Structure formats: structure tokens, C-alpha cells
Amino acid sequence: METIKIQGTEDTPKVTLDKEHEIMEISGRSLPEDVASFYDPVLAWLDEYAQDPNPKTVFNFKLMYFNTASSKLILDILMKLEEIHEAGHDVTIRWHFPEDDEDMEEAGEEYADIVDVPFDQVPYSG
């Protein structure tokens, strides 16, 4: 399965999807001009990954900021992870947020309420 590595920019997050090394992470700022085309490869990768997931899947979100359009695509990613979990696989989502950023903490809590997947809120000092 092909690894996806997208370098982050001012407007797009860094994305690493590496099944072999068990690294799945989206970090940085997410406000791409064309949010659908940016996240399409991520969703396609998850569709392929769902056919034969690792024994344990840990997906890390380390976003400092995301816009409204990105929030819908983040939810789409979470829903795909929920499908993998519902198929009987071990899935954990880790939502990392700066300990002084209530908005990012609340966003994680809202997502945790929507999807039925083990969801860790991980504060860090910026």
C-alpha cells in the first residue's frame, strides 16, 4: 500500500499516512483553497486501508487551526475510521491540542461525541 506524505504549507496541513510504519497523522493548519481535492487522496487511502487495516490503528490529529470547509472533511475521515472500528478492528483517535486553546479542545470533544471510536484528548504545551 502506497504511503502518502504531504508537506504542510501556510494553508494546508502536513499529512502522513504510512501503514507499514503505523504513522497516521494530520498536523498544522487546514484551510486549503480546494478542500475536497486536498483531502480526496486521504479519503481514498483510508478506503484502501480499511480493506486490510493494521492490528491497531492510531490516527493523530495535531491541528492548530482548521476552517469550516475542512471541518466537514475531518468528519469524513473520522467516519471512515469509525467504519473500520465497527468492522471489529482496534482503532484509536488522538486529538492533540494546545493546552491553552479551548476552541481546538472543544472541536475534539464535539467530534468525539459524533463518532463511536475510542477518542483521546491530548493536551500539549505550545
pLDDT of residue 10: 97
pLDDT of residue 4: 98
pLDDT of residue 126: 64
What's the mean pLDDT when you consider all of the chain? 97
Please write the tens of the pLDDT for every residue from 27-66: 999 999 999 999 999 999 999 999 999 999 999 999 999 9
- Considering its fold, how many domains does the chain have in total? 1
Give the start-end residues of each E strand in the chain: 4-6, 14-18, 23-30, 56-66, 90-98, 119-124
Residue 73 per-residue DSSP state: H
- pTM of the shown model: 0.96
CATH code of the domain covering residue 71: 3.30.750
Boundaries of domain holding 54: 4-124
